[in-house]
Amino acid sequence: MKVLLSGGGTGGHVYPAIAIANRIKEEHPEAEIVFVGTAKGIESEIVPKYGYELKTVTVQGFKRKIDFDNVKRVFKLFKGLEQSRRVVKKFKPDLVIGTGGYVSGPVLFNASMNKVPTVIHEQNSFPGVTNKILAKMVTKVLTSFEDSHQRFPEGTRDKLVLTGNPVRKEILMARKNSARRNLGITEDKKMVLCYGGSGGSEDINNAMKLVIENMVKDDIAFIFATGKYYYEEFSNSISDIQLKPYQRVVPYLEDMANALAASDLVIGSAGAISLAEITALGKPSIIIPKAYTAENHQEYNAKSIEKQGAGIAILEKDLTPQNLNETVFKLLGDKEKLIDMANASMEIGKPEAIDLIYNEIMNIYKANNKQKVSNKKENKKEVVETSQGSENNESEPKIIGIKKK
Ligand SMILES: CC(=O)N[C@H]1[C@@H](OP(=O)(O)OP(=O)(O)OC[C@H]2O[C@@H](n3ccc(=O)[nH]c3=O)[C@H](O)[C@@H]2O)O[C@H](CO)[C@@H](O)[C@@H]1O
């Protein structure tokens, strides 16, 4: 079984692909899995860490306004199309899966042109541009929110299957007690996890300085991932604060499983995969949606979490160090509220999504294999019939070729 996976640009597109690849490997250790991404995207760091090969192609998204830069991007797209064509031709996948980001465009396009079965997974209620275009040509579209269905183009509805967002197995399997042991955080301590999606969030970071000062005063355990880009500036800004070993500020969290499982409260932005992970483990949260995301989808996500009682949403425009600080400490002091929020969060979580996705993928794979076998049989039948009734048949050399194959 040969599978090509493509998703890139942000963690929210790459981790779903990793979760899917790991799930396939779990059942089919012999499966050959290769990723396609860009050299600049976060996938170039994440994919090799999970032990998969990454083939890189050149592609960049277009600016949504008239800009000379878009001309260069058109050239890059053509280059990316040619590079993807070569990857597909050489690897000969049985199945190609795209999890979003511009890079999945040329890869899935080439695969579907070559009649390879293709699947895309959409993480958000508002489908991305690439997925909307690809939906028309792929075999199946796996979605995470029912209301996204109406936003896919006409004529694609019968390909849509609601599965939910995949969560990596190491996160699903993580448990609070062992996670705390692994991290050196005792059971009696309160523990807060904070991160602003895969790239970090400047607004969250600005508000967190005061929260960190107060958590240090109250001897609360925490892990705060600033995002790589903001790390140096942020760590300089708190250089006068003495942190204990269970109070960590890091650029990026490699081990999200233990950090999430160990926490009593999560502060984060409203990326769909982060929320899928937080709710899969039933964690209460303070959600600060990033403004200016496409169709403002993060605000929509955050409001939905709040409406269901699993979290408190604070919009970036309302975010101040004081109100974040107040919200954090009020929640940490209200055990009952935290339990109610945790239960609501657990209700939303869909840990089974990864299995639903796996089943859909395997159905496509099996159906295609069946088709291949029946095509082969048809071919053989044709060969026998043609060779029997045609001693001087012009197509004979071609028939022998097929037989050999
Ligand atoms: C600004 C923007 O448009 N963001 C989008 C992007 O977010 P982004 O890439 O931030 O994606 P998410 O917040 O959904 O997921 C982040 C992923 O990175 C992991 N992680 C994060 C920080 C860290 O230090 N370590 C770590 O492992 C998380 O566990 C999670 O698996 O893709 C999501 C899924 O399409 C969208 O819903 C988001 O709106």
- Which segments are annotated as binding site for UDP-N-acetyl-alpha-D-glucosamine? 10-12, 124, 168, 198, 298
* CA-closest residue to ligand 1 atom 3: 293
Q: For the sheet with 311-313, list strands across it.
A: 247-250, 221-225, 191-195, 265-268, 285-287, 311-313
Q: Do 337 and 363 belong together in one domain?
A: no
Q: Name the token pair of 292.
A: 């200016």
- Window from 5-14, 133-142, 312-321, 373-382 with minimum mean pLDDT: 373-382
Does residue 90 fall inside a structural domain? yes
164 Cβ closer than 6 Å to some ligand 1 atom:
no
Does residue 129 lie in a domain region? Answer: yes
Give yes or no: residues 312 and 203 share one domain.
Answer: yes
Query: Measuring from atom 10 of ligand 1, which residue has the nearest CA?
Result: 197
Q: How confident is the model at residue 66 (pLDDT cuts 50, 70, 90)?
A: low
- Lowest mean per-residue pLDDT among 52-66, 140-154, 305-319: 52-66
Question: d(Cα 143, Cα 272) in Å, to the nearest integer?
Answer: 12
For ligand 1, whether the C-beta of 16 sits within 6 Å is no
pLDDT of res. 391? 43
Domain for residue 211, yes or no? yes
Distance CA 176, CA 404 (A): 59
Q: Once rounded to an integer, what is the mean pLDDT over residues 318-346?
A: 98
What is the CA(13)–ligand 1 centre distance, in A?
A: 8
Please indicate, yes or no, whether residues 179 and 259 belong to a single structural domain of this protein.
Answer: yes
- C-alpha distances in Å from residue 347, one per residue of 146, 263, 275, 375: 17, 18, 13, 46
Q: Is 197 in the pocket of ligand 1 (CB under 6 A)?
A: yes
Neighbours of 142 (CB within 10 A): 27
pLDDT, position 393: 43
- For residue 386, being part of any structural domain is answered with no
- Whether residues 184 and 152 fall in one domain: no
Is the CB of 274 within 6 Å of ligand 1?
yes
Residues 137, 188 within the same domain: no
Q: Tell me: do 344 and 357 sit in the same domain.
A: no
Ligand 1 atom 15 nearest Cα: 12
**Could you tell me the residue range of the domain that residue 107 belongs to?**
2-166+352-369
DSSP letter assigned to residue 230 = G
How many separate domains does the chain show?
Answer: 2
User: From atom 20 of ligand 1, which residue's Cα is the shortest distance away?
Assistant: 198
Q: What is d(CA 33, CA 30) in angstroms, rounded to the nearest whole number?
A: 9
Examine the domain organization and report whether 288 and 356 are in the same domain.
no
Nearest ligand 1 atom to the CA of 251 is: 24
Residue 86 token pair: 């070569």
Q: Do 196 and 313 belong together in one domain?
A: yes
Q: What is the pLDDT of residues 341-379, one digit of tens each?
A: 999 999 999 999 999 999 999 999 999 888 777 777 777
Q: Which of 234, 274, 304 has most ligand 1 atoms within 8 Å of CB, for mutation? A: 274
CA 57 and chain centroid, separation? 19
On whether both 100 and 156 belong to a single domain, the answer is: yes
Q: Is the pLDDT of residue 21 over 90?
A: yes
Q: Are 124 and 132 in contact (CB under 8 A)?
A: no
Partner residues linked to 162 by β-bridges: 143
Confirm or reject: Cβ of 258 under 6 Å from ligand 1: no
Atom of ligand 1 at shortest range from CA of 298? 39
Residue with CA at minimum distance from ligand 1 atom 6? 12
The answer to the question of residue 383 being in a domain is no
3-state SS string over 269-294?
CCCHHHHHHHHHCCCCEEECCCCCCH
Is residue 399 assigned to a domain?
no
The answer to the question of residue 338 being in a domain is yes
DSSP 114-173: TT--EEEE--SSS--HHHHHHHTTSSEEEES-GGGGGGSPTT-GGGEEE------HHHHH
- Same domain? For 86 and 119 the reply is yes
- In the reported structure, the alpha carbon of residue 400 is separated from the centroid of ligand 1 by a whole-number distance in angstroms of 54
Spatial contact of 280 and 256, defined as CB atoms under 8 Å apart: no
**Pocket lining: 273 vs ligand 1, CB cutoff 6 Å:** yes
ipTM of the complex in this document: 0.99
pLDDT for res 381: 72
Assess whether the C-beta atom of 168 lies below 6 angstroms from ligand 1.
Answer: no
* Same domain? 189 vs 208: yes
The percentage of residues in the chain with a pLDDT greater than 70, rounded to a whole number, is: 90
How far apart are the CA of 197 and the centre of ligand 1, in A? Answer: 4
Q: Which residues of 283-317 are buried (b: 16+ CB within 10 A; e: fewer)?
A: bbbbbbbbeebeeebbbbbbbbbbeebbbbbbebe
The answer to whether 269 and 301 have CB atoms below 8 angstroms apart is no
Cβ neighbors of 74 (< 8 A, separation 6 or more) are: none
- Distance (Å) of CA 282 to CA 193, 275, 300: 14, 10, 20
pLDDT at 394: 39
Q: Does residue 402 lie in a domain region?
A: no
> Residue 135 is encoded by which pair of tokens?
């939906």
Q: Which amino acid is residue 336, in one-letter code?
A: E
CATH number of the domain residue 123 falls in: 3.40.50.2000
Domain shared by 275 and 333, yes or no: yes
